[in-house]
Amino acid sequence: MTAHLDAPHDLVGIGIGPFNLSLAALAHGLPQQGAGELATAFYDQRRDFRWHPGLLIDGATLQVPFLADLVTLADPASPWSFLNYLKHKERLFPFYFAERFHIQRAEYDAYCRWVAGRLPGLHFGHQVDAVRWNPERDLFEVDFTQVDADGEAEALGRTHTRNLALGIGTAPFVPEPLRPLAEAPTVPVIHSADYLDNRERILAAGHVTVIGSGQSGAEVFLDLLRARPTGRERLTWLARTPSFAPMEYSKLGLEHFTPDYTRYFHALPEPVRDRLVPAQWQLHKGIDADTIAAIHEELYRRTLHGGWPDAVLTPGVSVRTAGRVATTKVELHLEHLEQGTRSRLTTDAVVLATGYRERPLGSLLAGLDPYLRKDASGRPRIDDRHRMVLDPSVTGSVFVQNGDRHTHGVGAPDLGLAAWRSAAILNTLTGKEPYPQPVRTAFTTFGLDQREHTRPRPAGELLPLVEHP
């Protein structure tokens, strides 16, 4: 095993998705306390950067403006901005004339890959296996395995760091009734995360069912609809939600994705936070209005010469159980929640647009478990600076990226808060304020007492942790 004992890092990031890539970009060239630049390293088991490759459907756009890139909302002059990417690609004038505020997903992926290909200190093909605290050296030990293109181990290594940033992201979620089918290679039941890799196979199926009412489900349904012949679409779209609901996109509604709301949410009692998150699903799990309009327009176009498209769109439906019919068909046992009725649907392929879940941290952080402080539900407690609450004997910090919805609310996975959160982490880590934080970010006043909720504290100011009953 190779180990780098003499040169501990100031920060090691685990996972290189958009959030840790944002952190790496804003940390690049940043001075640490004393002499020299901040020493960072980021590890990811994938061979290179890829952002939801299975959903880079032609024409699909981000639900946030291009200003929600990796750095701009913290440092508009950064060389790692989306506009600077366009300049390097000699596409700045075409983008200017295109007048696009929301860019395509594929373009965002290309921009992130451009940044990842130029930033130093990013180590792809490195799987982090374990993290421990070494009290004798006051450092975290990070064990990793270097893997080849086939995922086979090539070498073992260890590095040391004063601080960690967890950015391992989320994993596709498959509901329990459908897991045996999704794992069977002969049955075309796939998660939307793998849609493009399986698109031709899905298109070749006689009847296709899409399950899930969020943006991914809508984009997959629209793509399939456009590819099927008029009158012979043979598509079904099912959703648990009471309707195919639009995403909340009003100007004041969007203020739930501001630092002001994040600070307000974090200060709420734990039971209140747990009630709020599922109730706010339409803030982040609905469908954008343009996609809804495009679906309706495509359906309407197919009625111009008489008849209706062979497409069934039914909300309010849950899948109770599922099974195979012969070897090539799937039978879904359905229940309509409002009617209290049950039915069966036989289909040739299923696309599960059933969302994502935060990846569990238990095995990765098993070595830190004695030091972790947890809430009443057994989840890591995370303070208002995005740090896990650890035993006071641990002098380093473990920062959390997109694993703190239970403490920081619906904005945790939102790309629009990536640069702000990265800046907050770096301000805390350096003990300075290389990225000054805005005092106010919303016209809405969340709560009656905003004195502590809206005031970003200087990096060196710490308040005692308040336990809510």
Domain range for residue 182?
A: 173-247+285-356
**What percent of the chain shows pLDDT beyond 90?**
81
Based on the fold, state whether residues 42 and 125 are members of the same structural domain.
Answer: yes
Give yes or no for residue 42 having a pLDDT over 70: yes
* Residue 97 forms part of a structural domain: yes
What angle do the packed helices 18-27 and 418-430 form, to 10 degrees? 50
Between the CA of residue 216 and those of 64, 102, 172, 223, 285, what are the distances in Å? 15, 16, 12, 11, 9
pLDDT at 456: 59
Among residues 27, 32, 31, 1, the alpha carbon closest in space to that of 13 is found at 27
* Residue 436 forms part of a structural domain: no
Neighbouring residues of 337: CB distance < 8 A, sequence distance ≥ 6:
240, 242, 316, 317, 318
* Residue 201 forms part of a structural domain: yes
Based on the fold, state whether residues 404 and 316 are members of the same structural domain.
Answer: no
Based on the fold, state whether residues 293 and 415 are members of the same structural domain.
Answer: no
Based on the fold, state whether residues 117 and 238 are members of the same structural domain.
Answer: no
Based on the fold, state whether residues 165 and 212 are members of the same structural domain.
Answer: no
Pairing of β 398-400 and β 164-166: parallel
pLDDT at 3: 46
Write down the residue that tokens 């009471």 correspond to.
Answer: 242
CB atoms within 10 A of CB 81: 22
Give yes or no for residue 77 having a pLDDT over 90: yes
What confidence tens digit (pLDDT) does each residue in 401-433 have? 988 999 999 999 999 999 999 999 999 999 989
* Residue 271 forms part of a structural domain: no
Report residue 282's pLDDT band, with 50, 70 and 90 as the boundaries: confident
* Residue 467 forms part of a structural domain: no
Residue 90, phi then psi, degrees to nearest 5: 55, 40
Residue ending a domain, choose from 301, 335, 356? 356
Higher pLDDT, 330 or 458: 330
Residue ending a domain, choose from 301, 330, 356? 356
Q: CA 68 to CA 72: how far, in whole Å?
A: 7
Give yes or no for residue 292 having a pLDDT over 60: yes
pLDDT at 198: 95
Report residue 5's pLDDT band, with 50, 70 and 90 as the boundaries: very low
Based on the fold, state whether residues 30 and 128 are members of the same structural domain.
Answer: yes
Between the CA of residue 425 and those of 31, 218, 296, 400, what are the distances in Å? 14, 35, 43, 9
What angle do the packed helices 215-227 and 289-301 form, to 10 degrees? 20
Based on the fold, state whether residues 96 and 220 are members of the same structural domain.
Answer: no
Based on the fold, state whether residues 24 and 162 are members of the same structural domain.
Answer: yes
* Residue 445 forms part of a structural domain: no
Residue ending a domain, choose from 338, 356, 374? 356
* Residue 68 forms part of a structural domain: yes
Provide the mean pLDDT of the chain. 92
Based on the fold, state whether residues 46 and 158 are members of the same structural domain.
Answer: yes
What angle do the packed helices 105-116 and 18-27 form, to 10 degrees? 40
Based on the fold, state whether residues 301 and 221 are members of the same structural domain.
Answer: yes
pLDDT at 180: 87
Chain length of the chain:
469
* Residue 272 forms part of a structural domain: no
The mean pLDDT of 453-468, rounded to a whole number, is: 49
* Three-class SS of the chain: CEECCCCCECEEEECCCHHHHHHHHHHCCCECCCCCECCEEEEECCCCCCCCHHHCCCCCECCCCCCCCCCCCCCCCCCCCHHHHHHHCCCHHHHHHHCCCCCEHHHHHHHHHHHHCCCCCEEECEEEEEEEEECCCCEEEEEEEEECCCCCEEEEEEEEECCEEECCCEEECCCHHHHHHHCCCCCCEEEHHHCHHHHHHHHCCCCEEEECCCHHHHHHHHHHHHHCCCCCCCEEEECCCCCCCECCCCCCHHHHHCHHHHHHHHCCCHHHHHHHHHHCHHHCCCECHHHHHHHHHHHHHCCCCCCCCCEEEECCEEEEEEEEECCCEEEEEEEECCCCEEEEEEECEEEECCCEEECCCCCCCHHHHHHECECCCCCECECCCCEECECCCCCCCEEECCCCHHHHCCCCCCHHHHHHHHHHHHHHHHCCCCCCCCCCCCCCCCCCCCCCCCCCCCCCCCCCCCCCC
pLDDT at 335: 96
What confidence tens digit (pLDDT) does each residue in 316-375 have? 999 999 998 888 899 999 999 899 999 999 999 999 999 999 888 888 999 999 999 999
What confidence tens digit (pLDDT) does each residue in 372-405 have? 999 999 999 999 999 999 999 999 999 999 889 9
CATH number reported for the structural domain that contains residue 60 in this entry: 3.50.50.60
When divided into structural domains, the chain yields a total of 2
Residue 293, phi then psi, degrees to nearest 5: -65, -40
Higher pLDDT, 66 or 179: 66
Based on the fold, state whether residues 368 and 317 are members of the same structural domain.
Answer: no
Higher pLDDT, 178 or 159: 159
DSSP string, 131-175: EEEETTTTEEEEEEEEE-TTS-EEEEEEEEES-EEE---EEE---
Based on the fold, state whether residues 337 and 383 are members of the same structural domain.
Answer: no
